Amino acid sequence: MSSGSKASRAAAYAVLILLVVAGASFLINSRVGGVQVYDVYPTPSMVPTLEVGDLVVAQSVPFSSLHVGDVIVFAKPSSSGLCTDVDIVHRIVEITPQGLITQGDNRLTNPYPDEPSEWPPVPADCVKGEVLFSLPYLGDVSQAFPPPLNYILVAIIIVIVFLIEFVSGSRREEDEPPPAEGSAKPSA
């Protein structure tokens, strides 16, 4: 394969990666499909399940489909029954007619359930979604750079890693001597 076609293929891959990251950031930020991304900050209440600085991906689900043991993202309920702007990631430990009882997995920082001592049981209105998975350390990137800069930075990092791998792979191919005509590789 010629170096010109390799370069055009690398450029096409780089553009494709940028488009995928840009599309993903649009979908994530617009909550299309009920998917939203949250930073796990600022407390270690979910350690060891989630570390401070993780990014969690949550999906909106019907309140009736939640079960004890699910990890959810919810807006902290106020004593007046409204949802505040403080997002919390905790595990459901009980479901009552008044709402959900949650607790962080770190029993050193959360020895008891949050409700009703910290705030009232979590009503359906305050539940933002069930955690699907987490991405270690990417919450730190998200906190350091506001959207969309954080997504652009991640895309640039991916493209740079790809290009470094592409260039080093091309150099390895150039360094290998071509096989002699009529010679066979020794069998193992």
Q: Which two tokens stand for residue 181?
A: 């005509």
Lowest mean pLDDT among 2-16, 81-95, 157-171: 2-16
Distance CA(152)–CA(155), nearest Å, equals 5
Regarding whether 163 and 81 lie in a shared domain, the answer is no
Q: Which domain holds residue 16?
A: 1-30+139-167
Distance CA(76)–CA(188), nearest Å, equals 64
Sequence-distant (6+) residues with CB within 8 A of 19 are none
Share of the chain above pLDDT 90, in %: 37
Mind listing the pLDDT tens digit for each residue in 68-97?
999 999 999 999 989 999 999 999 999 999
Regarding whether 62 and 4 lie in a shared domain, the answer is no
Please report whether residue 176 resides in a domain: no
Q: Which two tokens stand for residue 149?
A: 């800069």
Regarding whether 83 and 23 lie in a shared domain, the answer is no
pLDDT at 121: 96
Regarding whether 20 and 42 lie in a shared domain, the answer is no
pLDDT at 17: 65
Closest C-alpha to 96, from 66, 53, 139, 132: 66
| Of residues 141 and 125, more confidently modeled | 125
Mind listing the pLDDT tens digit for each residue in 35-67?
676 766 678 999 999 888 887 888 999 999 999
Regarding whether 79 and 22 lie in a shared domain, the answer is no
Regarding whether 45 and 22 lie in a shared domain, the answer is no
Distance CA(85)–CA(87), nearest Å, equals 6
Average pLDDT of the segment spanning 167-171: 68
Report the DSSP beta bridge partners of residue 135.
Answer: 55
Regarding whether 147 and 111 lie in a shared domain, the answer is no
| Of residues 175 and 38, more confidently modeled | 38
Q: What is the CATH number of the domain that holds 87?
A: 2.10.109.10
Please report whether residue 67 resides in a domain: yes
The whole-angstrom distance between residue 3's C-alpha and the CA centroid of its chain comes to 36
Regarding whether 47 and 112 lie in a shared domain, the answer is yes
Domain count, the chain: 2
The whole-angstrom distance between residue 16's C-alpha and the CA centroid of its chain comes to 20
Please report whether residue 185 resides in a domain: no
Confidence class for position 188, pLDDT limits 50, 70, 90? very low
Please report whether residue 120 resides in a domain: yes
Distance CA(187)–CA(7), nearest Å, equals 35
